[in-house]
A and B are shown apart, each in its own frame.
Chain A
């Protein structure tokens, strides 16, 4: 395990939801650093500048859809292998199918309690940080 913190980009337009994700990751032992990207038009810029290794993506981003952001990321050659985990309030099967089809590595429904946020953060860290080999 590297001592360098793992940089995660959280693409989320709702500041409350971002604060909940952040709170959830506070219970994770591994060193992680979260970057908040509140709108679709800043995604590419932040990916380039922040050099994030993982992405958490909300599907509804004001006027833009997270699905379009996902396609945009995948269309970019240098980010085609970047792990993108969708974190959405929608449990609509169409959204889920479309998300995977567009290149999502996982699709997670937004939790309904703080405990579930923590559990998500720990599970996320233990797989994507401890187990998975990320490019």
Chain B
């Protein structure tokens, strides 16, 4: 590593007489060949030794000082002429020449040029800044290097300004060239300001395609000495910017999340490899440009739009997006977009997208379940209402009429007793009907749905078998077409079909044998299961009401006898399968009920 002794060495070498150089703090820096030959010393034998007397006595002297000095390992005292090494009137050290060995032992007038000449002999660039960050001295190579970029390294120039000018000019390669930082920003960012870490170095690739190693040292005097060394190519243990990029790209490759850096126009500057692969952009390489249009076409404008909403103080923007991948599957991505700012101005965004497809479907499942629960709760409330009214009413009637029978009997008036007794019996029968329906309803309505693959044809056959006696009695004709399989609860599906078929058989036209058709039509991800009859049909104005008839059982008896709970249950069953049921009011040959059921509950899967 280059350091001050190297400079001293270069300076000493250009002094013709035997001489050595002492640093400002009194440390022996180096000596020249003539000196070593004179005293029989090896190279760097005395380097680093302390010679306090020289600095103490010569301090402040601008002219010659004659001293008798004792040097370690040298038995005799040496008579030397000490002269400050001045660089632009600043002492950077002392030069001690052995007296009487030179032809002229007076002031070495060109000693200051010795410093310049000395450092000019060095192969590397050297630049020394004083404690006030002013340029003290720079060697030929540095001056030439700056000159190539149109910069003048004038003595006294400010260090931060020169560094910034160098960066802007491309002295350290293209990547610093477009920096818009001001000198003040540079210093506030702590990049080039003091305190300086001595001994650090950086390796940069210049725009002349050479590798430059820049090392800096801070001396006790506060001087900063920088060396610019041209090196062949970075050694393996020196992390280069290129390797750093490669390293970071590797990290991003193994990150499961998608990462995108987007500019203000929605143009992606960078996307990480998993992102590129998931969307069929395998050929895409970091650094290659991707058009904003292409990106928007594939990913929509949500990300670009969020750029406008991002503020320096605001939180990142988060949203979920459903996207079709290259393999035609869908993913849900949860984006988190963070703004990139220059001052207060947004200059782009960095967003990460996490695949939450699994979480999303779980969330949907939970949502469905909670909706189901809410529905069940609602029917429980209905149940309570029905119990409180529809059961209580006939019970109250029984109570009142039996009480009246007792009254009448006591007064010996038996004329109306039979009428009252009839009322008691009717009320009891009504109560019985209500209880039966409630039981039927509660058995189905509160059943937790257990899904499995269900062959609807098998289910329909079971339902028909259960209705055998009614079908026989009505001499009904049943036409069962080929039915598909669905994901569903076999018990509930059987109940649904049984209800619909029973209604179809029951509400027949007088003197016309019922004809019931059961068939299915595919409609994409949905199956339409149809039960159609040639019976009396349902007045279209009741098309909605018949499915909620459960709300009232008794007074609607005349109209909906049998429909009541049955269709309300069918509706519940269809809904718990994420489907629906409707009366087809366009059909006039009887009644046609259509049950819409998803083939697969999770998605629009393939037809089975």
Q: A residues touching B (Cβ–Cβ < 8 Å)?
A: 13-14, 16-17, 20, 60, 62-63, 89-90, 92, 110-115, 117
Q: Which 3 A-B pairs have the closest CB atoms?
A: A113-B403, A112-B399, A89-B392
In the docked arrangement, what's the CA distance between A35 and B403, Å? 26
Per-residue CB contact flags for chain B residues 387-399 toward chain A (1 = under 8 Å, else 0) read: 0110011001101
B556 at the interface (CB under 8 A from A): yes
In the docked arrangement, what's the CA distance between A81 and B554, Å? 33
- Within 8 Å by CB of B393, from A14, A111, A117, lies A14
Give A16's nearest chain B residue, CB to CB: B397
6 pairs, CB–CB < 8 Å, chain A vs chain B: A16-B423, A89-B392, A90-B392, A113-B399, A113-B403, A114-B404
Could you say which of A20, A92, A111, A113 has the most chain B C-beta atoms within 10 Å of its C-beta? A113
In the docked arrangement, what's the CA distance between A111 and B397, Å? 10
User: Is A20 a contact partner of B400 (Cβ separation < 8 A)?
Assistant: yes
Per-residue CB contact flags for chain B residues 551-575 toward chain A (1 = under 8 Å, else 0) read: 1101110000000000000000000
In the docked arrangement, what's the CA distance between A35 and B406, Å? 29
B407 at the interface (CB under 8 A from A): yes
B545 at the interface (CB under 8 A from A): yes
Q: How far is the CB of A114 from chain B (nearest CB, A)?
A: 5
Chain B contact-residue range equals: 10 to 19
Give A91's nearest chain B residue, CB to CB: B388
Residues B387-430 near A (CB distance < 8 A): 388-389, 392-393, 396-397, 399-400, 403-404, 407, 423
Contacts of A117 in B (CB 8 A): 400
Per-residue CB contact flags for chain B residues 353-390 toward chain A (1 = under 8 Å, else 0) read: 00000000000000000000000000000000000110
User: Is A63 a contact partner of B545 (Cβ separation < 8 A)?
Assistant: yes
User: Is B388 a contact partner of A90 (Cβ separation < 8 A)?
Assistant: yes
User: Is A62 a contact partner of B552 (Cβ separation < 8 A)?
Assistant: yes
Q: How far is the CB of B434 from chain A (nearest CB, A)?
A: 13
In the docked arrangement, what's the CA distance between A14 and B407, Å? 23
Contacts of A113 in B (CB 8 A): 399-400, 403
Could you say which of A16, A17, A92, A115 has the most chain B C-beta atoms within 10 Å of its C-beta? A16
Contacts of A114 in B (CB 8 A): 400, 403-404, 407
Contacts of B552 in A (CB 8 A): 60, 62-63
Contacts of A92 in B (CB 8 A): 388
Contacts of A111 in B (CB 8 A): 400
User: Is B400 a contact partner of A63 (Cβ separation < 8 A)?
Assistant: no
In the docked arrangement, what's the CA distance between A20 and B551, Å? 25
In the docked arrangement, what's the CA distance between A20 and B399, Å? 12
User: Is B389 a contact partner of A60 (Cβ separation < 8 A)?
Assistant: yes
Could you say which of B396, B404, B552 has the most chain A C-beta atoms within 10 Å of its C-beta? B396
Q: How far is the CB of B183 from chain A (nearest CB, A)?
A: 76
User: Is A89 a contact partner of B404 (Cβ separation < 8 A)?
Assistant: no
User: Is B403 a contact partner of A115 (Cβ separation < 8 A)?
Assistant: yes
User: Is A89 a contact partner of B396 (Cβ separation < 8 A)?
Assistant: yes
Contacts of B396 in A (CB 8 A): 89, 110, 112
User: Is A90 a contact partner of B389 (Cβ separation < 8 A)?
Assistant: yes
Besides A14-B554, A17-B393, 6 other A-B contacts (C-beta < 8 A): A16-B397, A63-B552, A92-B388, A111-B400, A112-B400, A115-B403
User: Is A62 a contact partner of B556 (Cβ separation < 8 A)?
Assistant: yes
User: Is A89 a contact partner of B400 (Cβ separation < 8 A)?
Assistant: no
Give B388's nearest chain A residue, CB to CB: A90
Contacts of B423 in A (CB 8 A): 16
Contacts of B389 in A (CB 8 A): 60, 89-90
In the docked arrangement, what's the CA distance between A115 and B552, Å? 29
In the docked arrangement, what's the CA distance between A115 and B403, Å? 8
Q: How far is the CB of B307 from chain A (nearest CB, A)?
A: 52
User: Is B555 a contact partner of A62 (Cβ separation < 8 A)?
Assistant: yes
Per-residue CB contact flags for chain B residues 521-565 toward chain A (1 = under 8 Å, else 0) read: 000000000000000000000000100000110111000000000
In the docked arrangement, what's the CA distance between A90 and B392, Å? 8
Contacts of A16 in B (CB 8 A): 397, 423
Contacts of B400 in A (CB 8 A): 20, 111-114, 117
Contacts of B556 in A (CB 8 A): 62
Contacts of A115 in B (CB 8 A): 403, 407
User: Is A89 a contact partner of B399 (Cβ separation < 8 A)?
Assistant: no
Q: How far is the CB of A59 from chain B (nearest CB, A)?
A: 8
In the docked arrangement, what's the CA distance between A60 and B321, Å? 48
User: Is B392 a contact partner of A14 (Cβ separation < 8 A)?
Assistant: no
Contacts of A17 in B (CB 8 A): 393, 397
In the docked arrangement, what's the CA distance between A19 and B556, Å? 19
Q: How far is the CB of B559 from chain A (nearest CB, A)?
A: 10
Contacts of B393 in A (CB 8 A): 14, 17, 89
